[in-house]
Amino acid sequence: MPSSTPESLPSSVEDLIEIIGGSGFNEKIQLERAGITLGSIKQLADLLGWTLADTLEAIGSPATLRFSRNGVRVTGLPCMRCVELIRTVLLVRALYRDTASNEFAPDRWLGRWLASPALAFARQRPVDWLDTPTGAEYVRHVIQAIGAGAYL
């Protein structure tokens, strides 16, 4: 299998979104193994309207990482949680592609929704359910239901 050096992997959140949403398994596997740069996580935080500290907490990384250089890579479980968060961004963007406007920003809506306790999550925040594959799948299921107008 061809390998990429960490320097050749994407360092912007939009590039990550493109890889995670694409069909190339090799690129996704390389990304998951190499990790996600702190700079990309900062950009993801901005997209969602979160602080970097809140985003690091959501993916299970120590908040002190926010004082590190942008090139530092988050690996392991926090990386996987970040990937699940990006998959959720992709879903919301797909569902609300036609309604995005100056009045409605899907990424910001997702950030607010993920951080707010909800009945469908036993009054917990949906972001807290992104820590397992099953929880992440359920978060996306609820988002799809919201997009279809169903109430859970």
What is the DSSP track for 46-87?
A: HHHT--HHHHHHHHT--GGGGGS-TT-EE-HHHHHHHHHHHH
Q: Hey, where are the domains in the chain? A: 6-147
pLDDT tens per residue, range 52-105:
999 999 999 998 888 888 889 999 999 999 999 999 999 999 988 876 566 788
Q: What is the pLDDT, as a whole number, of residue 82?
A: 95
Kind and range of the H or E run holding 112: helix 106-114
pTM of the model: 0.87
- The answer for residues whose C-beta is within 8 angstroms of residue 41's C-beta and 6 or more apart is 13, 52, 55, 56, 59, 61, 74, 82
Reported residue count of the chain is: 152
Which structure tokens are listed for 32?
A: 């998951």
Q: What is the pLDDT, as a whole number, of residue 137?
A: 97
Mean pLDDT (whole number) for 6-33: 83
